[in-house]
Amino acid sequence: MRRLDGRVALITAAGSGMGRASAERFAAEGAHVVVADLDGDAATEVADAIAAAGGSAQAATCDVGDDDALRALVAQVESDHGVLHVLFNHAGIPGSGGGDSGLDVELDEWQRVCDINMRSAFYLTRYALPLLRKADGKGSILFTASVSGIVGSPLSPLYSLTKGGIVLLMKSLAIRLGPEGIRSNALCPALIETPMLSAFFGREEGADIDDLRSGYQSMVPLARAGAPSEMASAAAFLASDDASWVTGVALPVDGGFLAK
């Protein structure tokens, strides 16, 4: 039995990587997926691939850093479906490494990272909440945080700041919305093979990406990077009734990184 039959799911940054894998998995589980991405062509490609595989999806172009775009995205979901069962706030960027101290970040870059990683998730959740309340107790809010939102990141204090903020936003919403039957959880990935991986390790000019990657991977007990599909599997679980008694959880998807 498909766990998300008859449900509507909205996923941001779903045009590639973990977002795409989650969109494809949600559709395979029976959901109609709204594939939102800054790159409209990528979103269309994912939606078309889902349809070709027998699933149901639609593409939406959305810059999550633009408040008007977030409002328009939710308005489109409301017009098309009138309800939202799963909101997956996946969009995020690594940002600058911040120099030797990790703090050498220009104000405009600081603001951009906070806008994409935190503000977008806060306000998209706010705008989507009326539709989640129509889900008859099946509403599920997911966030992509990071292991760097649970333990400090020597590579980027700013990234940890934003991902730690997401974890506490998630927990706060779990407490506030739980009585309404709306669950709130976060996934905390470590090293995942996505297009953003090289950007994450290459934030500092002259960084040895292979060396940084090797050092990070050596700290993972399973001794490898994760696949986007492994993140998607965890997301599908949290979105479904299999996790009906799970809320307020920051779930590591990290190959054992946080076990040390």
How far is 194 from 208, CA to CA, in rounded Å?
A: 18
159: annotated active-site residue: yes
Q: At what angle do helices 67-81 and 120-132 cross, to 10 degrees?
A: 20
Q: What is the DSSP string of the chain?
A: --TTTT-EEEESS-SSHHHHHHHHHHHHTT-EEEEEESSHHHHHHHHHHHHHTT-EEEEEE--TT-HHHHHHHHHHHHHHHS--SEEEE---------TTTS----HHHHHHHHIIIIIHHHHHHHHHHHHHTTSTT--EEEEE--GGGTS--SS-HHHHHHHHHHHHHHHHHHHHHGGGT-EEEEEEE-SB-STHHHHHHT-STT--HHHHHHHHHTT-TT-SPBPHHHHHHHHHHHHSGGGTT--S-EEEESTTGGG-
Residue in 123, 127, 159, 216 annotated catalytic: 159
For 223-246, letters b (16+ CB in 10 Å) and e give eebbebebbbebbbbbbbeebeeb
Q: Please state, in angstroms and rounded to a whole number, the distance separating the CA atoms of residues 123 and 192.
A: 27
Catalytic residues: 159
